């Protein structure tokens, strides 16, 4: 698996397909393999770069806190190694926060953003407290934290009908190191709101949300998509937070639509 260096840490990635470059960024306690369900179809028309964010998958940690801005720096390191100067970004949950940080810091690189079950807003006061409590739990037993927290990302009905897929995804989550989990939680906790990027962006922004999402409140999406004609949004009625597993066909349709914009 190829890698780029960021602050002396190895950042692993995969590359497939040819065409317009599209960077795919996974969420918290996930890896780049979450995109495998979409790669066979999307790689027919696009050059897909799937990155393991620091402390996740095969990528190394470089600090106690991995800010969204530093994670965006990892994306830049990969793109420079591949000599890519323009890209669209698709980010799931935490990956969406990284995509927004990337667009904020490197607008000349950015040609579009898809917030895939993600948000442009910062954590609420309560959410920050929840992350602090989660860090304390992780310090005690990070694998126990994953085993308890991971199934809660799914709608209850899918915990029964998607047992195999969830088991595989949880196995990938369990690869995340204690330091990687803490660093990501610390980074998400202090991330700023980037809702301003949704006001008259020079490129398309598409928000894909789940009506039953237990992580990202669906009530916030309408307000985020009212800023500009270049900002779009869709609510998938049957999906929770993990649309790539819960509603893969619907998600693939929306990703294709976004990439054609």
More confident residue, 156 or 50: 50
Residue 98 · residue 77 · CB < 8 Å: no
Question: Using only C-alpha atoms, what is the Rg of the chain?
Answer: 17
Q: What is the total count of domains within the chain? A: 1
Write the pLDDT tens digit of every residue in 186-236: 999 999 999 999 999 999 999 999 999 999 988 888 788 887 889 999 999
Structural domain for 238, as ranges:
3-260
CATH number for the domain including 232? Answer: 3.40.50.1820
Sign of CA dihedral 245, 251, 242, 15: positive
Q: Is the pLDDT of residue 238 over 80?
A: yes
Write the pLDDT tens digit of every residue in 37-80: 999 999 999 999 999 999 999 999 999 999 999 999 999 999 99
At 260, the pLDDT band (50, 70, 90 cuts) reads very high
N-to-C CA span, the chain:
31
Q: What is the mean pLDDT of residues 233-252?
A: 96
Q: Is the pLDDT of residue 1 over 90?
A: no
What percent of the chain clears pLDDT 70, i.e. is strictly above it? Answer: 100
């Amino acid at each position: 698996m190829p890698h780029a260096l960021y602050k002396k840490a190895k950042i692993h990635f995969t590359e497939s397909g040819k065409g317009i470059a599209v960077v795919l960024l996974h969420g918290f306690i996930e890896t780049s393999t979450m995109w495998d369900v979409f790669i066979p179809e999307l790689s027919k028309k696009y050059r897909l770069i799937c990155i393991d964010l620091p402390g996740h998958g095969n990528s190394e940690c470089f600090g106690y806190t991995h800010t969204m801005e530093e994670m965006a720096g990892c994306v830049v390191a990969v793109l420079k190694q591949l000599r890519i100067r323009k890209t669209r970004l698709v980010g799931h949950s935490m990956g969406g926060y990284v995509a927004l940080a990337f667009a904020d810091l490197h607008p000349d690189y950015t040609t579009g953003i898809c917030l895939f079950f993600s948000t442009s807003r910062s954590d609420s006061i309560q959410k920050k407290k929840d992350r602090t409590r989660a860090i304390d739990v992780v310090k005690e037993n990070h694998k126990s934290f994953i085993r308890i927290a991971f199934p809660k990302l799914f709608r209850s009905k899918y915990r029964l009908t998607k047992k195999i897929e969830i088991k595989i995804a949880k196995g990938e989550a369990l690869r995340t190191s204690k330091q990687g989990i803490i660093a990501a939680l610390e980074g998400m906790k202090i991330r700023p709101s980037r809702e301003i990027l949704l006001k008259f962006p020079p490129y398309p922004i598409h928000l894909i949300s789940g009506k039953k999402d237990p992580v990202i409140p669906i009530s916030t999406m309408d307000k985020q998509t009212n800023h500009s004609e270049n900002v779009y949004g869709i609510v998938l009625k049957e999906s929770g937070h993990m649309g790539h597993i819960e509603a893969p066909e619907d998600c693939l349709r929306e990703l294709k639509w976004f990439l054609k914009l």
